[in-house]
Structure 1
Amino acid sequence: MADRRADIGAMALPPEAGGKSVSMLAVAPAHAHAAFVFAHGAGAGMTHPFMAAVADGLAARGIASLRYLFPYMERGSKRPDSPKIAQATVRAAVAEAARRWPDLPLFAGGKSFGGRMTSQAQALEPLAGVRGLVFLGFPLHMAGKPSIDRASHLSDVGVPMLFLQGTRDELAVPALLRPVVAGLVAATLHEIEHADHSFHVPVRSGRTDADVLGELLGVFAEWVEDRCAGTP
């Protein structure tokens, strides 16, 4: 895309996150009106095709993004970092985005694990400058083990939230997630029919993964625009 700039680099981490550095990838359109701090899921890093497609789609809609690796992914480990380390990494990424784009409204969140760690960080102490959180497949529970225990902190988030969820997501049974979101202040749930946790859809659905991505991006961008305009 000729109207955007991609910048690959390293992001320094504070002592509580290990004190080293992790890789990051910033994508900014020429005339951005918002920025999204975009954390990856537990099993795939920032360059996964889904992460790249979302970042490109957001750029096409005027939203810059900052992707980054959690320390365990930087090391090549398959075991996610502790919440303390992950949350400190989220804070470092938000600070980096604010430094890069001081005049842009900031949003944060991510895919699965990354979104959950972002929400935990925000619930413990507000992420400076962040106006809202966006979750792309919030992992409410482990596959096959329905529970709402992972939602206990969401009432402390304190900023608007958008949940983008597939109706076939095995990590967030709709019947459990719907009342959780309904009980939160300024939270929106958008369900994507037939999509699983990876936002894939079966052929029999009559839809394609590209259709799903387009729907996801459209809802995402509209929600961000509304928050920038002052909608709760």
Structure 2
Amino acid sequence: MSSKTPDTSEPSGTSETSGAAAGTPDATVETVGTDAGPARVTWHRAPRGARFVLAVGHGAGGGIEARDLRALAAVLPAHGVTVALVEQPWRVAGKKVAPAPKTLDTGWRGVWPALTGPGLPVIAGGRSAGARVACRTARELGAHAVLALSFPLHPPGRPEKSRADELLGAGVPTLVVQGGNDPFGRPEEFPEGEHELVEVPHGDHGFAVPGRADITQEEAVTVVTDAVVRWSGSLG
């Protein structure tokens, strides 16, 4: 069961109350019951002619306020993609530590019927741990494609603990957007496969770039949004 309420707060307060991207005060927030507890979806709807829903989950160390997720919510609707930012039950409950992968998958499965509610193909997406969830469940849930932001290919300093099988097993068109200096897996470490990979130069796991880099932080985020706009536009 789910309930929807319009977010009527001012843009500056929206990010505090719902995680909505700045400049999108018309976002709506939906609470969705799952077997892992209540989850929350913040909808940023395409104003007209939506082709897809891009559902994006957050990582284990943060929520939907991440810079890349906010940017996608602000940019993609103008390109015919409704963005649904998904907060896992543990975040909604105010917990500091993410549960086991199995519980994350349970929460994502529980949200899925709400994501398909608009009747559009759903691109399953996520950053870090959320990307792993999207890959693991894509085939089972019938995702149209997968967007993997900062896919954690391995724990930092432990390349032998590879999670490549999750990425390679997604079974649907997949875009990986990875920071060039991500300690969880640099672009050159990724295996060959059917996925497309776009590098954010100098970016770390959160796509932050150092001040000495030849790319600004704004330009780094634009690499992410431009890649997703282009890729989603190419999907049949």
When the two structures are superposed, what TM-score results if normalisation uses the length of structure 1? Answer: 0.84
Deviates more, 1:208-217 or 1:44-53: 44-53
Match of 1:214 among 222, 227, 231: 222
1:23 matches 2:40 = yes
Distance 2:108 2:125 in 1: 9
User: Between Structure 1 and Structure 2, how many residues are aligned?
Assistant: 214
Residue 10 of structure 1 is matched in structure 2 by 31
Distance 1:224 1:3 in 2: 21
Deviations 1:129-154 (A, max 9, x none): x2110111101111222235211233
Deviations 1:8-30 (A, max 9, x none): 121111x3x3xx31222111021
Q: Does the C-alpha gap of structure 1 residues 9 and 22 become closer, same or farther in structure 2, counting only changes over 3 Å?
A: same
Deviations 1:77-131 (A, max 9, x none): 22212222211222223321111x20x2210111111111111122xx5213x21
RMSD: 2.0
Question: How many angstroms does 1:212 deviate by?
Answer: 1.2
Deviates more, 1:192-201 or 1:149-158: 149-158
Question: How many angstroms does 1:3 deviate by?
Answer: 8.6
Question: How many angstroms does 1:50 deviate by?
Answer: 3.8
Instruction: Give the percent of matched residue pairs that are identical in Structure 1 and Structure 2.
Output: 27
Q: 1:63-212 alignment to 2 at 5 Å?
A: 63-99=81-117, 101-102=118-119, 104-122=120-138, 125-128=139-142, 130-147=143-160, 149-177=162-190, 180=191, 182=192, 184=193, 186-212=194-220
CA contact (8 A) 2:178 2:186 kept: no
The structure in which a higher percent of residues are helix is: 1
CA contact (8 A) 2:52 2:80 kept: yes
CA contact (8 A) 2:39 2:88 kept: yes
SS state at 1:191 partner: strand
CA contact (8 A) 1:4 1:29 kept: no
CA contact (8 A) 1:40 1:114 kept: yes
Which ranges in structure 2 are unaligned for 5 or more consecutive residues? 1-21
Distance 1:149 1:143 in 2: 11
Which ranges in structure 1 are unaligned for 5 or more consecutive residues? none
Question: How many angstroms does 1:2 deviate by?
Answer: 8.4
Deviations 1:137-172 (A, max 9, x none): 101111222235211233322101110011111111
Match of 2:74 among 56, 73, 83: 56
CA contact (8 A) 1:72 1:80 kept: yes
Question: Aligned partner of 2:121: which letter?
Answer: P
Distance 1:143 1:2 in 2: 35
Question: Aligned partner of 2:212: which letter?
Answer: R
Distance 2:70 2:30 in 1: 16
CA contact (8 A) 1:7 1:26 kept: yes
